[in-house]
């Protein structure tokens, strides 16, 4: 039975993003080797997170349970007419770290993925359309990833919103800072050329 518990722990850990089966096995073994030092604090931290952390009912950002809607949604100094659409709440954290976007956010909680069986009804597109109607949004910035599934998701959202007369923009693509042209793939280079700006 003890091995069953270790197998269950490994399976649970391997469901985390970026954690493969081998990494999950190593983590499970390390946790099992020091239950008092590792498992008990981890269980306490997980329980505290479950009790105190939630997703904003409006934008989907990670927030404290007692702050819903979140501070990003209730901050009067932010531009309420512009909304940045991202795939996951962690993308909101990344966008905020730049300090350059001062509008509101909307996390889709995923993307369209026929391979996984995720269609338009499995992500928060209806909620986005509702917000645009009720909040008087005039511009939607699509800040989705650049893989095929994200591109399909962006195309669908752009089509839906343009039919409603909403200005839809996308983040610019280009060569990453600190990198060289010879290291960029052809798609990135093509987008960088097409998105060039006057200096």
Question: Residue 122 domain-assigned?
Answer: yes
Range of the domain at 87: 80-170
Question: Residue 184 domain-assigned?
Answer: no
Reference 168, options 145, 142, 148; nearest CA is: 142
CATH code at position 96? 3.40.1360.10
Question: Residue 98 domain-assigned?
Answer: yes
| Token pair listed for 42 | 């981890």
* Residue range 60-99, pLDDT digits in tens: 999 999 999 999 999 999 999 999 999 999 999 999 998 8
* Residue range 165-195, pLDDT digits in tens: 999 999 887 777 777 778 777 877 887 777 7
Domain count along the chain:
1
Indicate the Cα dihedral angle 94, 100, 103, 108, nearest 10°. Answer: -20
């Amino acid at each position: 039975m003890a091995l069953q518990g270790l197998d269950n722990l490994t399976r649970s850990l391997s469901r985390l993003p970026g954690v493969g089966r081998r990494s999950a096995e190593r983590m499970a073994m390390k946790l099992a080797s020091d239950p008092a030092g590792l498992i008990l604090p981890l269980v306490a931290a997980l329980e505290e997170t479950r009790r105190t952390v939630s997703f904003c009912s409006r934008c989907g950002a990670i927030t404290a349970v007692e702050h819903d809607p979140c501070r990003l949604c209730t901050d009067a100094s932010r531009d309420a007419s512009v909304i940045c659409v991202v795939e996951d709440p962690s993308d909101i954290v990344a966008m905020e770290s730049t300090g350059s976007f001062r509008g509101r956010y909307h996390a889709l909680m995923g993307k369209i993925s026929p391979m996984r069986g995720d269609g338009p009804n499995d992500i928060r597109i209806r909620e986005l359309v509702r917000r645009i109607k009720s909040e008087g949004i005039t511009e939607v910035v699509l800040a989705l990833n650049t893989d095929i599934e994200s591109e399909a998701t962006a195309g669908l959202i752009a089509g839906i919103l343009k039919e409603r007369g909403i200005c839809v923009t996308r983040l610019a693509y280009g060569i990453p800072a600190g990198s060289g042209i010879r290291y960029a793939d052809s798609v990135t280079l093509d987008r960088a050329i097409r998105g060039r700006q006057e200096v």
